[in-house]
Structure 1
Amino acid sequence: MAYIRKVGVLGQGHVGAHVANSLLVQGLVDELYLCDINAQKLTSETQDFTDALSFYPHNCKIVNCGDEYEKLAGCDVIVNAAGDVASAAKDRDGELFVTSEIARTFIARVTDAGFKGVWVSISNPCDVICTEIWRLSGCDPKRIVGSGTALDSARLRNAISKRTGLDQHSINAYMLGEHGASQFAAMSCVSFGCKTLADLVAEQPERFGFDQLECEEEARHGGYVTYAGKGCTEYAVAQAAVRLVQAILGNEHYVTCCSTLLTGEHGEEGIFSSIPCVVGANGIEETFELPLNEREQAAFRASCEHIRGNIAQLGEWWNTESRVK
């Protein structure tokens, strides 16, 4: 009997709908379970996807779950795209309270219904919401994968590509830390094939001696260039999430930068933050600790402290309602 790939998507706003469509376009799912508290929006999206089935690679069972989150319990992966993008107009921290409250409405219900799959969380602030899912579900933190700086790392590669003329796929470059204003570029670890950026700067300074801080800033604020004219970001972040889902469903052992529970990496622990991870069927299989320079190490510490500050703002209810003892 063929294996049935089941994916749930919580939230059918700009990002969640694009996640669902991309899963269907790429033929990654056999059963797709959709949730949203806006019943008419969810009905309309479900109808639109169903109408398009003739144009997708293969048939798929598409289920309108409404707000019956328990129906997601049998999924291999649940993508959390629930949020309020208007709250993030200034920065991603703007969604802190609203997305935390939204998450509290479904985490326990999905967990109590017996969900044993992998969470892929996009909702902002990403690292805080991942930490919240862990605390309120009590599940193995390796089964929680935050999209984190996967997208920001793509923006960094794009910035470097524009300056060097090399294809983005041939560039190894990561943004680390928070998916937010405190993230930073690990420029000391950038490489092209087996050549380090430092080596190439020495050999071809006119081509590779670009302004590294300018590249970092472009990657850090790229989302707000998109937001300025659209009032949201949607395509790129959805693709970053779907790439993680693909790695999980295919047990790819895919290396990317994403948000995971830190357990001592770079001297930090107890929170979710983005570092290079190996992603497979069970979520985070392994983490890679990069040889950061002094500036980068300090930036990572500062970013983690910012995440902790956001967590602290959520108040004492974590201590009273957390399932993690």
Structure 2
Amino acid sequence: MRYIHELPGEAAVTSPLPLTGSPLGKQTYRVHILALGDVGMTMLIGLRLLGAGVVESIGICDINEQNIRRLEMEINQIRYPFADWEGSGMPSLPPVYAVGEEALFDCDVFVFCASKGVPPVGAQGDVRMAQLAANTELVRHFAGLAKAAKFAGLACIVSDPVDPLCKAFWMASGLRPAQVQGYGLGVMNARACYYAERREEFRSYLTEGRAFGPHGGDLVLADSLTDYDDGRSRALTDLVIGANMAVRELGYKPYIAPALSSAALSILLTLREQWHYGSVYLGDEGAGAFFGIRNQMTRDGVVYEDAAVCDALYERLKTAYLNLCRLV
């Protein structure tokens, strides 16, 4: 059996950077979101509806001022009818307000949803990777702002391709590895569960399976950690990778499930210090990658599930990890 902690060694990393120095430690958190397109807006709705008790407030920033004005009105009009009545038992939802770029990092949690050129409906190939060059330039700009602001919170990367953008942000910002996490793997797990509920041969994934690696072509799904079947796992992985294009072939951009499963739900689980899927850094200052894995943000830092895996599964994980190491 092999272990996840062995992966950095495949890139000649002998002393991986510690994932200590947690950006958490408060009861509630001020969240700022950059860019409110389809993904950002849907995630915002999820954070507003489900964030009571852990999200103090939500600041929104976008180059489209009309969009910000509209969302400030509409999202604040989502509320329980008697939340302000004493004893109603209904939660008051976190308020939403506009924030300018100059105050973007005056918060506890920064969420990067900006993107240059989302591929149109009908685009072929790995549409996520098509955005790498443009979005890397964008993410480095805002990482520079985080560095200038001496940002002490958590930076959440949602834009595609999630994993290399995490590394670009981390390298340009000077933040600790534990302060940066990518949110793309949650929807891959959710899509795997969707197919597992509908096809008997994948049913074990619901209780025994795991998702690893990037939100993209090198995704690794395991039908079971204890009774791994390589053929079934690869077949399920292919289905999940293709789920993105399946929605596009219907004439729609597949943003609803990613915005909620990968972003809103996973970010809230992070803030509540619960287990979730996200990309964490495995490497040193010279080599390594942000790698999607089941993990938990504690008051001491990030703890990831250091699963024992069979040789066949480890080889898939090694390939995915090394390919990510080469991207940035």
Output the TM-score relative to the length of structure 2: 0.77
Q: 1:155 aligns with which of 191, 213, 216?
A: 191
The one-letter amino acid of 2:94's match is: C
1:249 matched to 2:275: no
1:51 matched to 2:77: yes
Aligned to 1:80: 112
Q: Is this contact kept in 2: 1:76–1:249, CA < 8 A? A: no
Partners in 2 of 1:18 and 1:167 — Cα distance? 29
Partners in 2 of 1:222 and 1:110 — Cα distance? 34
Partners in 2 of 1:230 and 1:84 — Cα distance? 21
Q: Is this contact kept in 1: 2:59–2:98, CA < 8 A? A: yes
Aligned to 1:301: 318
Aligned to 1:37: 63
1:108 matched to 2:144: yes
The alpha-carbon distance between structure 1 residues 40 and 180, as it changes in their structure 2 partners (threshold 3 A), is same
Partners in 2 of 1:168 and 1:58 — Cα distance? 39
Deviations 1:54-103 (A, max 9, x none): 668415332212xx334232322111111146337432100101211221
Shift of 1:110: 2.8
For these two proteins, the number of residue pairs brought into alignment is: 287
The one-letter amino acid of 1:26's match is: L
Partners in 1 of 2:116 and 2:210 — Cα distance? 27
By percentage of residues, which structure has more helix? 1
Query: What's the % identity of the aligned pairs?
Result: 21
Moved more, 112-121 or 155-164: 155-164
Q: Is this contact kept in 2: 1:244–1:279, CA < 8 A? A: no
Output the TM-score relative to the length of structure 1: 0.78
Partners in 2 of 1:272 and 1:117 — Cα distance? 18
The alpha-carbon distance between structure 1 residues 210 and 310, as it changes in their structure 2 partners (threshold 3 A), is closer
Partners in 2 of 1:269 and 1:114 — Cα distance? 24
1:236 matched to 2:257: yes
Q: Is this contact kept in 2: 1:6–1:75, CA < 8 A? A: yes
Partners in 1 of 2:240 and 2:119 — Cα distance? 21
Aligned to 1:25: 49
Q: Which runs of 5 or more structure 2 residues have no equivalent in the other structure?
A: 1-25, 84-90
Which structure is richer in relative contact order (CA contacts within 8 A, separation 6 or more)? 2
Q: Is this contact kept in 1: 2:116–2:135, CA < 8 A? A: yes
Q: Is this contact kept in 2: 1:122–1:241, CA < 8 A? A: yes
Deviations 1:143-171 (A, max 9, x none): 11111322212222222222239989952
Stretches of 4+ aligned residues off by more than 6 angstroms: 165-169
Q: Is this contact kept in 2: 1:161–1:168, CA < 8 A? A: no
Partners in 1 of 2:150 and 2:256 — Cα distance? 31
Over the aligned positions, Cα root-mean-square deviation in angstroms equals 3.0
Aligned to 2:17: none
Shift of 1:44: 2.2
Shift of 1:218: 1.1
